[in-house]
Amino acid sequence: MRVALITGCSSGFGLLSALAFARRGNKVYATMRDLSKDGDLQSITNSEQLPIIILKLDVTDDHSVKQAVSKVLDKEGRIDVLVNNAGMGCLGSVEFLSDTMLRTAFETNFFGVIRMLRAVLPAMRAQGSGTIVNVSSIDGRIPGKPINWGYAASKHSLGVLSDALALEVEPFGIKVRQIEPGFFATKILTNRKLLEKENAAANDERSDVDSPYRKFEEAVRGFAEGNMQHSDDPQIVAEAIIEAVNTEAFFPVHYPVGEEANATLKEIATLDEEQQALSWKKMMGL
């Protein structure tokens, strides 16, 4: 029985991944920042009698990370799979995206992963095996686009980290996978909207309430929300994570997931920069 530690399990890819691992006989430590949101996962765990233990873990807090990882290691003595899934969206123009929102996105999407790695890697090196899964986005593989650049930048940074990490830990028998979904129906937009309200309440000096880029912002938000409503089943991503973990080879590191992700990669491979810009404007209705 493998021991899997997964972050961001209150909903979406994290919740589905926790269930997918547990239903295959793995011991799962499903973590989340706010334990009051464990209702769906706890209910399914109880009804199916799954080997899932829910823990509090905030990837932006050093003490929280160390405490949760220590609990798992004290109980199990090992961690075979780490899934860095916790993440958040971040939309706004370069000029007006709030500093608070941008820093929060990087703290969660990038530095949070680093905290988890530094807490778990010593145990994986000692046991001579393990698989690290970083859940990214296809936005981390493509040229930057207006309004979504902050989120994409955090995921581009994660991609560089994953590539470097894969080479660093291969000699210790540790595999690295980066999962890169396209549009899927998760709560990332809902969570992003909540953060925007918090930033507005904090009266951040870079609030985009009166942004001259409103046309771009409305187009991107509308496109994203429309795609979420007609996207693929997020269960596909959970299954892709399982497949990536079960693959014995150390490479490839990158796993694009979904029709939209693969179509996007194909497009950027065949269009020059000007063509990509025109394609984006057309897609946004601009």
Active site residue 66: no
Is 150:92 a contact under the CB 8 Å cutoff? yes
pLDDT at 204: 56
Helices 273-284 and 214-229, interaxial angle, to 10°?
A: 80
At residue 285, the pLDDT reads 83
The active-site residue, picked from 11, 155, 175, 255, is 155
- Nearest alpha-carbon partner for 147 in 265, 273, 280, 12: 280
Residue type at 236 in one-letter notation: I
Q: Which of the residues 10, 98, 154, 162 is marked catalytic? A: 10
pLDDT at 203: 43
d(CA 121, CA 114): 10
Q: Which CATH class is domain 3-284?
A: alpha beta
| 10 included as an active-site residue | yes
Active-site pick, 98, 151, 154, 207: 151
The residue among 105, 107, 122 whose CA lies nearest residue 61 is 107
Residue 249: both structure tokens together: 């080879």
pLDDT value of position 196? 53
Chunked into runs of 10 residues, the chain (286 residues) has average pLDDT values of 97 97 98 94 97 98 98 98 96 93 97 99 99 97 91 98 99 98 67 51 54 88 76 91 98 94 90 90 85
pTM: 0.91
Which position among 136, 154, 162, 207 bears the catalytic label? 136
